[in-house]
Structure 1
Amino acid sequence: MAKPRPEMPPSEAVRALIDGEGRLAVRVTPGARTEALEIAEGNLLAKVRAKPEDGKANDAVRRLLAAALGVAPSRIELLRGATSREKQFRIEL
């Protein structure tokens, strides 16, 4: 059985949250039942199935953001928050 596609807001809505220097703040929920991106009160929330061990959740968030923005995961860099739920990424568009 195939994995269900993650729920995502339109890419324009996610791109609007990226600042002038290409930074994007994300609040992450690891170990969720489903994968999804949500915009709530002007903040981007990411839910990923991966557990927060050995960077697996960070990689899952990177792949989820890449799919939402239509860019390669290699163009998304984790700037800070490697062990925190509050993360900041740099996006090369």
Structure 2
Amino acid sequence: MRDCEDLRDLAAPGASIPVRVTPRASRGSVTRGKDGVVRVCVTCAPEAGKANRAVTRALAGAMRVAPSRLELRRGLSSRDKLFVVR
């Protein structure tokens, strides 16, 4: 992903990461807002879990951890999600 902020400081085990998702974006990006919410734009449509998987991969890439270390705790079908680092 081209536009990806370095989020390694969020990779501590047990950390909760609030995420705001924009599906069907023209290009993918991961940024951190001034409010502390991570904004993830993915090109996938929100159908059959594709966007959630793309968000997990993008967030894991920005944090430099394996996608399996991120657990989606809240917001399965919402734009506002909460991930927890295992």
Q: Into which bin does the TM-score normalised by the smaller protein fall?
A: 0.7 to 0.9
Q: Which has the higher contact order (CA 8 A, sep 6+)?
A: 2
Q: Which residue of 2 aligns with 1:28?
A: 21
For normalisation by structure 1, the TM-score amounts to 0.81
Runs of 4+ in 1 over 4 A off after TM superposition: none
Partners of 2:72 and 2:81 within 8 A in 1:
yes
Residues 27-64 of structure 1, C-alpha deviation per residue, up to 9 Å, x if partnerless?
00001010001112222100001100011000000000
Bigger radius of gyration among the two = 1
Write the distance in 2 (CA, Å) between the matches of 1:6 and 1:59: 18
Write the distance in 2 (CA, Å) between the matches of 1:21 and 1:74: 14
SS of residue in 1 equivalent to 2:19: strand
In structure 1, list runs of 5 or more residues that go unmatched.
none
Partners of 2:8 and 2:64 within 8 A in 1:
no
1:6 aligns with 2:2: yes
In structure 2, list runs of 5 or more residues that go unmatched.
none
